[in-house]
Every structure is written in structure tokens, then in C-alpha cells.
Amino acid sequence: MNHTTAKQNAVTELMRISPVADELAARFAKAGFQLYLVGGSVRDALLGRLSPDLDFTTDARPDRIQAIVSGWAEAVWDTGIEFGTVGVSRRGSTLEITTFRADVYDRVGRKPAVSFGDTIEGDLVRRDFTVNAMAVELSTKTFIDPHGGLEALARKVLDTPATPEESFADDPLRMLRAARFVAQLGFEPAPRVVTAMTEMSGELERITAERVQAELSKLLTGVAPRRGIELMVDTGLAEHVLPEVPGMRLAIDEHHQHKDVYQHSLTVLDQAIELESSHEPTSEPDLVLRLAALLHDIGKPDTRRFEPGGGVSFHHHEVVGAKMVRKRLRALRYPKDVVNDVSQLVYLHLRFHGYGKGEWTDSAVRRYVTDADELLPRLHKLVRADCTTRNRRKAAALQKSYDELEARIARIAEDEDLKAVRPDLDGNEIMKLLGLPPGPLVGQAWRFLKELRLDRGPLDHDEAVTELRRWAAEQGIEPPE
């Protein structure tokens, strides 16, 4: 049996054990229509990873699709019906059924003038890549591959059914999707695809920030995001998505040697991903950690200073970088919590380097934990990933120091509830003791007591009251008798 036949049989077998698809195909056939499994669902089936979310295409128009699934589907939604798509759920599977498309793009915006087609071949040629332009006709299990997608999948080559220039002019987001597939599936773009991406990267400006962000997030949570980022930078796409990343490629001269910040950041990204599974493992790819790892040094170009004697400094690059991260992620329409978390990690990523050989007081350790708050596990990984020195002795010393810091955090946490550092008196007690109504003074008193708690650890009640009264006297507040 040759390679192609084996792959076709794999699709047939996968579909044979998918009763939902077979049932649906029977309903369409009875109504006189064809139904095809298509696109990413076929690609994933060939890769042995068919999911319960399946994509279908058909010659039936949307109103006929709704009539055919009526009474069979457990739920039907028509939010995409203007584009010919009807959504269906059945026994845990989510199905999207779309009428053949033969769209025409104005090549100004991204949305096409929706036009329904009459043939599967006409539908497949308008798809983004050949590996997504394969279909299986479900009633006969016929495999349809007019653009060599099966061979491209075997070779892990990313190419377009039409010319890349036509495909990307129709929808520039496909260029970013190419980088995403490189990161997610380990594909290599065909030379003509890379050429078109390079020449047409500016077309990405036509795409909304929300759509760009969605593709970038999928890229970063792929198995090899470094490769996708490198493709974006090499083709110029990154200039329109994350210009700060190519901006880290600082010129290095023989008299002012320092690390290549761009390559260093990619290595930190790789190492952070490794730590996701080895250090306080997470079940899913951590988008916040990966963004922080990639962007943690973006403040360096703006803070670079050449020092006497040939040295280079980047004073306060973490402060500048945190502001830059916040601005960029807001522009990409990331949710507020993602913006805040990534910028805070960037702001804190250098804090550990003041630890030295354990010179921090317990107060400094408490502040480290309190400032990181819920981000502490991610901060641990980011700091460890940020060690990219080739000097094994230096790398081992840094990791040992961080091991010791984590051990200290654990010891202090056993004695004190570091996850919930609060003043030893709450707001109600403060108001009662000082005779204050709710307002700014109560907040000032609360912050004073919190700082005291960070510096000295837990205080007993009487000691806390004494310190509060002393602070009040300094502020000119006269507590009641």
C-alpha cells in the first residue's frame, strides 16, 4: 500500500468511527445534497488528532441546512448565517456546516462579498493553504485533494492553493496564520510564500487588532512559538504586530559587546516553555508567561548607554519595558488582566538580581512575594528562564540562588500567611481606634500598617495598636480616649 492510499484509508477509518458525521451525511444525502468534511478537520484527521469540533461544507444553501438539521441537532445557532455557516451540536460534538463559497474580496478591507458556490473544487481553491484545502465526501468516503495538500502535509510544507499574492491580497491575515501554523504544526513555508509575506507584510494593516491578537495568541501557545516569531521578524510582519521585538536586534560592535537582546529573548521564551512542564507544571500553555518571556527586555533599546571602558548599561529597562508592554498589548486589544499581568512580570523580572548570595532580609522576601502576588509562580519561571549565560558555573550559581530564595519563601510562608499579607488591624478597627470616618486617612493608616507588617512580620494586637497610635500622633490625629 502506498503512502497516499494509507493516508486516505486513515481518513476513512476516522470517519467510520464518527457516527455523528455519518448520521449527518445520511440526512444530507436523503435531501439530495452532498456533505464534505473539510479544511482543518481533514488535516487534523490525517495528523491523527481529529477533535469533536468538525467543519463541513455542502452544496445546500443555509436555509436548507437549517431544515435538514432541524429535529436532529440538539442545538442550532445561526450567528454566522450571513456567511453561509450554521452551527450545530450533537452528542458532545460541535459542528459547523457552511455552504460552498466563491467569495470576491475588494482587497481594501478583509470581509468578502459573500458569494455561494456550486462545486467543492471552487470552494477549496479559495482556502488559505493546501493542507487546509482537502475534503472527504462523506456518503462515499471519497478523498478530494485538487491542490496536493496530502503531499504538502507529508512534507510539512505550507503553500497556498492559488498564488500566495492572490491569497494574501484576499485576506492578509493569512500571512500571520502562516506564522501560526509554523509555530503550531512545525511546518515550513514554501519559498514563494515567504517572498509574498515579505513583499506584502504592510497589507496586515488592513486587519483589525482583535483578529491579529487572536492569531498571535494562537502562535504563542503553539508547540514552537520561536519559529513563528522568527518568521514574523524575517518577513517584516512583526513590524506591524510587535515592532518592539525586531527592535531588540541591537547593533553590536567590537568595542561595546553585549548579548544579542533579540536572540536572548527568544531563548528565554524557549526556556520558559520548558519550565511550564517541569517547574510547578501547568496543564495548558501559559500565554501570560510566554508574552512576558518574549517581551521582558523590550525596554533595553531605549535605555542602552555606552559606559566608559567599553561597557553597556540598560538602567531601569524593566520600568521602561513594563510601560511599553502595557501600551503594545492595549493596542492589540488584549484583556485588561493579561495587560496588567504581563507588564507586572516585566516590571519585576530584575528584582531577584538584588538577592545576591542571600543578602535579602525577610522583609525583602515578603515584599517580593507580595508584589508578585498571584503571579509568583510565573515570576519564578520567568526569572529562571532569564538565565541564558553559556558560563555553566555562573548559570548553576544563579539557579542555586533562586532555589535558596524559593526555599526561604516556603519557610516564611509556613510561619506567616504570605499569600494574604494584611495589616494586623483591619479598616473597622482602625476607624474605631482613631475615631475616623471612612475616607483617605483610613487608607493611609491601613497602608502604614501593611508596610510595617512587611518589614517586621506579624505583630501581636497590642503592638499593632501601639504602632498605629504612634503613627496617628505623627499625623496630628487625636484618637478618642
Domain residue ranges of the chain, discontinuous segments joined by +: 3-155, 156-241, 243-418, 422-474
Measure the CA–CA gap between 300 and 309, rounded to whole angstroms: 20
Contact 343, 318 (CB under 8 A): no
The CATH fold of domain 243-418: Hypothetical protein af1432 (1.10.3210)
Q: Is the pTM of this model over 0.85?
A: no
Three-state DSSP class for residue 388: coil
Spans in the chain with pLDDT lower than 50: 1, 251, 253-258
Give the burial string for 435-452 (b: 16+ CB within 10 Å, else e). ebeeeebbeebbebbeeb
- Quick one: what percent of the chain has pLDDT higher than 70? 87
pLDDT of residue 110: 53
**The three grid cell numbers given for residue 42, joined into one nine-digit string:** 481533514
Whether the Cβ atoms of residue 322 and residue 273 lie closer than 8 Å to each other: no
Q: How far apart, in whole angstroms, are the C-alpha atoms of residue 87 and residue 96?
A: 5
Q: Which three cell numbers stand for residue 56?
A: 463541513
Cα atoms found within 13 Å of the Cα of residue 6, Cβ hemisphere only: 7
Pairing between strand 93-99 and 157-158? unpaired
Distances 99 to 7, 217, 334 between C-alpha atoms, Å:
26, 29, 32
**423: its cell numbers:** 495589616
Contact partners, residue 116, CB within 8 Å, separation at least 6? 61, 84, 99, 100, 101, 102
Which CATH code, of 2.60.40.3500, 3.30.460.10, 3.40.50.2020, 2.60.40.10, is assigned to 3-155? 3.30.460.10
Q: Which residues pair with 40 in a beta bridge?
A: none
Its CATH class, for the domain covering 156-241, is: mainly alpha
Q: Which residues pair with 253 in a beta bridge?
A: 256
For 304-318, b where at least 16 C-beta lie within 10 A, e where not — what string?
beeeeeeeeebeebb
Average pLDDT for the chain: 85
Distance CA(112)–CA(346), nearest Å, equals 40
Question: Which residue type, as a one-letter code, is found at position 82?
Answer: E
How many helices (H) and strands (E) the chain has is answered by 22, 11
Q: In a 10 Å sphere around its CB, with 0-12 CB exposed, 13-18 middle and 19+ buried, how is residue 416 labelled?
A: middle
pLDDT at position 355, please?
66
- Residue of 293, 272, 451 lying closest to 370 (CA atoms): 451
pLDDT of residue 20: 86
- Pairing mode, strands 93-99 and 53-58: parallel
Report the 10 Å Cβ neighbour count for 273.
23
* pLDDT for res 309: 67
How many angstroms separate the Cα of 92 from the Cα of each of 35, 43, 177, 315? 20, 21, 28, 54
